[in-house]
Structure 1
């Protein structure tokens, strides 16, 4: 395989998650699969193929390069929505390829209309409005003039959607802020309609809002982290479990990150292990050297804290995680051999290393840890 580690993606787990989400949102709400950040570390190319096999026909990406990677691999017709970065020079390509995109600034609106007229083909846009995130979106006081311009651009631009983004729906401490955002959004949607527009899609909800605030689902939800098998926060899972006390976690993790024992090493009591003097052997020890380090997304902050699975047992990382290697204590694991499977994330026999526990030890969020997994780690689809 010529790689020191690999990632497995479970098709059955994804089908389970998508079926669950679609059942929750109902048949009248469009499910958009958010695959920004290299499909949350799962790999756009591999994940998109898998998602289409599981019935996904709408994808949301952050940028034009992600859209390009998606289009290169999908085999069935799908709607592709660019939510973020789209350079003016890329507008021609986007319109030619029937991509939809957010418009949240005057320059993009003007250039989209100009490019569409040049091509003789309408641009399909989603108007993003500012409701309190203070990142992207037209401020309320600008909306009237923007809608007037859109009337003038009707030959070049089709207003398909109106949208916003909530500022932290995964935590109830943001409840009042989210409610104020929703109030402002509803006001602005009313203005859009009063100005004579009737957009097909009105959307606000991420994974967290979809489950914390069901009334924000409207007619499209942009679901990211949950389709991969992770709750946006412990709070969102607690909320769900209180509503369904008789059910186990309905989500299944897709990802298993694996490698193999590179070699074994015996050290004497009192010897230091790895760089520096952070770990001194308290006894004679047997170490397994694993060919993964921080260059591969295994955080250096997991030094002397991380855990991996070998021979169905959970064993600790000892010493400093270096660029390409980490060292684990297998003294109490009988019959460990060079080449034995090592699970960095995921399951082995009846044990598991969860992304949540991994992230807590490294002070990273689930999102951050997953998206930092390098693109050149092979992603393999399994049942």
Structure 2
């Protein structure tokens, strides 16, 4: 059975991005490949074997469920770190299988100690420190209690890392806020070190932090969006590339393409409405192609009468209201459009392309949002 659309991942694009990131962060900094959100829509089960093939050794997820999927996909060939949610009942699985995880509240720390002692295996923890994001992380007023718990349980805990997260490193507007976080993080780590608690690594930077704040790369960087070929923001792209005099040549390449096929072609007479309601009136006789992708597949309803697609090497318009399971394209200018013709929703066809950013602009979505909304059941494959 074939899906109504399919996603292709480019091996050569991913290889290019991995090489660029390695050059960017240097040989001595570990890259943790962030694969939350189903590997930013690229598909954990499809993307992870490719990442391993290209040399990835460390992976970060948001929750334990994602960590389970990564663990199954990599079969012990790398480290896994959970940055967010681990239910109490999932801690035992994580500790037993050597999954690293953030601790940012006393209850999780205490539960980790209890379970680790029961299993007689050390919990591999990353102590998250609050530096100004005000989301998760131990505040300064909690440090003493955290220090006492760690000191009292050396048989149950291995402090793999101290970490924090920057509040919007991708934006110039947050420059001083991030700088302040960087300084607070270093001071906080020193307080733990003075109490005899050392960690194997320090980490604070995501993709934007790694680009804009080189000093904050420390021992590990958590790279999400950039490994897939996207910049965290236009600001980071301009700041990094423009001074190099590269004539806007983007060193990153998009890994993902999203494609479908023409399901049906019909002629609509002048004066007839197209699709639901009356949002599109045929001003002249037009030829309409039906594509079996709609908002139920991640193609936003907000793209009604504004979206674009590629058919037979030409850019065509979405007309009428995007339905749950299909959309309509105006293919009037094209010759011989037929059932089964390739339709590119994101990616290249001939000399033209539809980027995720332009797709997102039309639908008022961030790159991150659009990618992670791509349904998990869309078939995914790796191409050269």
TM class by shorter chain equals over 0.9
Aligned equivalents of 2:301, 2:69: Cα separation in 1 = 30
Q: Deviations over 1:191-239 (max 9, x none)?
A: 1111112211100000001001111101100000000000001111011
User: Counterpart of 1:361 in 2: which secondary structure?
Assistant: helix
Q: Per-residue deviation at 1:75?
A: 4.0
Aligned to 1:174: 174
Aligned equivalents of 2:266, 2:297: Cα separation in 1 = 22
Q: Per-residue deviation at 1:144?
A: 2.1
User: Counterpart of 2:271 in 1: which secondary structure?
Assistant: coil
Structure 1 contact 8–382 (Cα < 8 Å) conserved: yes
Aligned equivalents of 2:306, 2:100: Cα separation in 1 = 45
Aligned to 2:219: 219
Aligned to 1:270: 271
Aligned equivalents of 2:148, 2:9: Cα separation in 1 = 47
Aligned to 2:322: 321
Q: Deviations over 1:100-131 (max 9, x none)?
A: 00000000000000000000110010000111
Aligned to 1:303: 304
Aligned equivalents of 2:148, 2:245: Cα separation in 1 = 51
Mapping 1:83-232, distance limit 5 Å: 83-232=83-232
Structure 1 contact 274–319 (Cα < 8 Å) conserved: yes
Aligned to 1:237: 237
Aligned equivalents of 1:236, 1:246: Cα separation in 2 = 15
Aligned equivalents of 1:350, 1:236: Cα separation in 2 = 27
Aligned to 2:365: 364
Aligned to 1:28: 28
User: Counterpart of 1:205 in 2: which secondary structure?
Assistant: coil
Structure 1 contact 166–204 (Cα < 8 Å) conserved: yes
Aligned equivalents of 2:345, 2:381: Cα separation in 1 = 16
* Structure 1 segments (4+ residues) deviating >2 Å: none
Aligned equivalents of 1:57, 1:243: Cα separation in 2 = 32
Aligned equivalents of 1:243, 1:125: Cα separation in 2 = 40
Q: Per-residue deviation at 1:44?
A: 0.7
Aligned equivalents of 2:198, 2:77: Cα separation in 1 = 25
Aligned equivalents of 1:198, 1:157: Cα separation in 2 = 12
Aligned equivalents of 1:59, 1:188: Cα separation in 2 = 25
Q: Per-residue deviation at 1:242?
A: 1.9
Q: Per-residue deviation at 1:243?
A: 2.8
Aligned equivalents of 2:316, 2:64: Cα separation in 1 = 42
1:342 aligns with 2:343: yes
User: Counterpart of 1:317 in 2: which secondary structure?
Assistant: strand
Aligned equivalents of 1:144, 1:180: Cα separation in 2 = 22
Q: Per-residue deviation at 1:246?
A: 2.5
Compute the RMSD of aligned alpha carbons: 0.8
User: Counterpart of 1:336 in 2: which secondary structure?
Assistant: coil
Mapping 1:39-50, distance limit 5 Å: 39-50=39-50
Q: Which moved more, 1:236-245 or 1:152-161?
A: 236-245
Aligned equivalents of 1:143, 1:27: Cα separation in 2 = 33
TM-score normalized with structure 1 length:
0.99
Aligned equivalents of 1:304, 1:115: Cα separation in 2 = 56
Could you list the runs of 5+ residues in structure 1 that have no partner in the other structure?
Answer: none
User: Counterpart of 1:323 in 2: which secondary structure?
Assistant: coil
Aligned to 2:2: 2
User: Counterpart of 1:221 in 2: which secondary structure?
Assistant: strand
Aligned to 1:60: 60
Q: Per-residue deviation at 1:173?
A: 0.4
TM-score normalized with structure 2 length:
0.99
Q: Deviations over 1:117-152 (max 9, x none)?
A: 000110010000111111110001111221121000
Aligned to 1:73: 73
Aligned equivalents of 2:76, 2:336: Cα separation in 1 = 48
Structure 1 contact 52–76 (Cα < 8 Å) conserved: no
Structure 1 contact 117–156 (Cα < 8 Å) conserved: yes
